[in-house]
Chain A
Amino acid sequence: ETGVTQTPRHLVMGMTNKKSLKCEQHLGHNAMYWYKQSAKKPLELMFVYSLEERVENNSVPSRFSPECPNSSHLFLHLHTLQPEDSALYLCASSQDEGSYEQYFGPGTRLTVT
């Protein structure tokens, strides 16, 4: 499936590094999402963008910084992460925000050393 793509698929970074995750959707959707999936917790919604406007999510640490330059692209900028941030980061998109099917990307497996 190529509707939602993510790069890189795997990433290992030190706690002092800065890296970015990229997501691209080719479905013409208006909403995009970042989720964190770890072994101990369910899929956790991190950020929602609807028509390129971010919906605030105050529970996410500032070391995660999203960017949505247009409706097809979504980035997650990472800096000074902690080992507990190691997880699978999934991007998803939907026609619009709300009760629409979300299509997930393959995810980026992030390991913080």
Chain B
Amino acid sequence: GENVEQHPSTLSVQEGDSAVIKCTYSDSASNYFPWYKQELGKRPQLIIDIRSNVGEKKDQRIAVTLNKTAKHFSLHITETQPEDSAVYFCAAYSGGGADGLTFGKGTHLIIQP
């Protein structure tokens, strides 16, 4: 089955700086890579996703890049703000019926004022 590794587990950045979270996956058949944001005590919510036929996608201050050859994808947040503080999960979908989405362990992003 798919295996997703996510780094770092905790990331602290100054407000206004950029943050980068990286994930690797093992199944070359994976074709869908969503990123979820989970604020304290709340449900995970999709913030951006990318499919295997695209190398980069951007939505305002967030962007995701995908390198299929190296089997890794990254989340980039620019001009970070206090409300960006949360746990971020990457995930990969390989198309297997019982596998569904495989999530990384999450990154706790802390924005320092």
Contacts and interface: CB of A to CB of B under 8 A. Distances in A.
B49 A101 contact: yes
Interface string B29-60: 00110101000001111100101000000000
Contacts of B98: 48, 55-58
Interface residues of B, number: 26
Contact of A104 (B44, B105, B106): B44
A99 B106 contact: no
Interface string A77-89: 0000000000000
Contacts, number: 56
Interface residues of A, number: 24
Interface of A: 1, 33, 41-45, 48, 50, 55-58, 90, 97-99, 101-107
11 contacts: A1-B43, A42-B89, A42-B103, A42-B105, A43-B89, A45-B103, A90-B43, A97-B100, A101-B49, A102-B101, A104-B45
Interface of B: 6, 31-32, 34, 36, 42-46, 49, 51, 89, 91, 93, 95, 97-106
